[in-house]
Amino acid sequence: MIKIGNIELPDFPLLLAPMEDVSDPPFRRLCKLHGVDMLYSEFISSEGLIRDAIKSRQKLDIFDYERPVGIQIFGGDEEAMAMSAKIVETVKPDLVDINFGCPVKKVVCKGAGAGVLKDVDLMVRLTKAVVSSTQLPVTVKTRLGWDTDSINIIEVAERLQETGIKALSIHGRTRSQMYKGHADWTLIEKVKSNPNIEIPIFGNGDIDSPEKALEYKNTYGVDGIMIGRAAIGNPWIFNEIKHFLKTGEKIDPPTLAQKAEAAKNHLIWSCEWKGEKLGILETRRHYSNYFKGIPDFKPFRTRLVTANELNELFDLFDEILEFEKQLI
């Protein structure tokens, strides 16, 4: 069993990475349905929370069936981070996570996300501010460093642990890599094997198959794996990995009918959460991922991203089921 504060997770838990414009409640619900052990919100601006920005507030929506679930915040100002942690505490998540890893320019330019990697002292102060302002367990997600000349993750891990955080997730890339190249898990392994480190260490980056999950588990000795982009359009990956780790055998991939059911549920839950118009619009970006690689599917995909009525989309999902019968 892995413990994050008072949160109990199974041995070698699988975590869903917080992803902007992806990790909303409908998507998290699908991943929960398919075996994820720990969920996180999309990252939320501490400044946005304090000034009561509607989009930031909406990201605080969590539901009991998601638990354990963490809310992730980012920012570059100690007072704002402390205040936002108190706001987060009011919606009763299981933990607060701090983002020191987002490489996106608009975040980095504000001295937040991966921008903090340039200033470890600031990173420590921001973390202390959050830890001291909440009774919830605090965790951190970060990267190896700003670039290959300033990799500092071993120092960062030790100093963050001293602030009182309860777990650390490490993406095996630098900020300058963004999402390109390969994640370097050897450095994640060095953090995990550091005798001074006592908190759980979770690895993140490039895990896109059950075979790779087993290989990285055995090779790098991390306490668990965080999966991000590989879960987009593929929430089944969590149960696939769990089954493979347990039995050494692969589960059959999802059928077209199962993919259509997941996409339809995603749509329904998005409409329930955001309203029909926005739900339809925001689910469109997911269809190409759900139905990737299916021969002769392009006409359906085109209609999925242009339909504006729920009934029209439901009829289209029925047509997809009929199409599947032709493929068999």
Tell me which residues are annotated as active site. 102
**Under the phi-then-psi rule, with left for phi > 0, alpha for psi from -120 to 50, and beta for the rest, what region is 70?**
beta
Say which residues have a Cβ less than 8 Å from residue 136's Cβ, sequence separation at least 6: 5, 85, 88, 89, 93, 94, 95, 96
Q: Are 296 and 262 in contact (CB under 8 A)?
A: no
**74 residue type, one letter:** F
Q: Is 290 helix (H, G, I), strand (E, B) or coil?
A: helix
How far is 60 from 43, CA to CA, in rounded Å? 10
Return the ∠ at Cα 143 (arms to 176 and 50), rounded to 5°: 100
DSSP state of 42: P
Q: Output the CA torsion sign for 27, 30, 36, 37.
A: positive
- Contact assessment for residue 71 and residue 88, using Cβ atoms and an 8 Å cutoff: yes
Single out the residue of 223, 252, 226, 255 nearest to residue 238, CA to CA. Answer: 226
Q: What end-to-end distance do the CA atoms of the chain give, in Å?
A: 43
Dmax over CA atoms of the chain, in Å, equals 61
12 near 224, Cβ under 8 Å? yes
